[in-house]
Amino acid sequence: MSDALLELSDVSVTIDSAPVLSGVSLRVDPGETVALVGRNGAGKTTTFRTVMGQTDMTDGSIRMSGTEIADMKSRERSRMGIGFAPEDRRLFTSLTVEDNLRMATWGGDSIPESEFEERLDRILDIFPEMEEFLDRPAGQLSGGQQKMVTVGRALSSDPELVLVDEPFEGLAPSVREQFRNGLERIKDLDVSIVVAESNVRHAGEVADRAYVIERGEIITDTDITEEDPLEENEEVRRIFEGG
């Protein structure tokens, strides 16, 4: 049996009779950071939404810690230990940042206040900048600040794995550095990470491995090292340089 934390096997998705994902297979091991790299429209977000049960798949298997989750509802998948930080954030703009962070622990997933405070402390250790605006409505924050809150909310459920969609897109260099540092701190907690990225350099700065997706298919996967940077990978260069 595989010891992967998350494993997709031959996952296909069809939307309005059009194939969007075709036989996607990938794995994420405990404690590692993996990048899903591709141009806009390549299938990165659809892959994440399919993992979370927000998009139905037409074929394949999705396992979390060896358990098949393909028939589970989104909330059940979250309870299996998957957090999701979508690119479009989906924050409640009229609620404070702290209340947005609490969202993952409301309803059937409610936890004691003391446990939430412990989780909040961990989130603030990851993104210390957030402490300055915990009491502000999320709608009053900058785009970069909202992205921090989105990742923080994904971490509020105490996941083993967090999916982060386009974390660096549109960020100023100083905020990108804060995000890189935050992702490293998440990894230090032994939480696995998958980042979907259209920027090869940004992906290569944070990931241990990368899968390259193009037109809904995984083209290649590769380890990322100082000796073999992602931007020098032949398939990556072909796709992003139009070769």
In order, the DSSP letters of 190-237 are T-EEEEEES-HHHHHHH-SEEEEEETTEEEEEEE--SSS-GGG-HHHH
Integer Rg of the chain from CA? 17
The confidence band for 109, taking pLDDT boundaries of 50, 70 and 90, is low
> 23: domain range?
6-240
Asked if residue 1 belongs to a domain, the reply is no
* CATH assignment at residue 210: 3.40.50.300
Asked if residue 145 belongs to a domain, the reply is yes
Residue with tokens 């998440």: 186
Count of the separate structural domains present in the chain: 1
Asked if residue 43 belongs to a domain, the reply is yes
Question: Average pLDDT for residues 209-225, to the nearest whole number?
Answer: 94
Asked if residue 80 belongs to a domain, the reply is yes
Question: Average pLDDT for residues 70-94, to the nearest whole number?
Answer: 92
| Per-residue pLDDT at 31 exceeds 50 | yes
| Per-residue pLDDT at 1 exceeds 50 | no
Asked if residue 72 belongs to a domain, the reply is yes
pLDDT more than 90, % of the chain: 79
Global pTM? 0.93
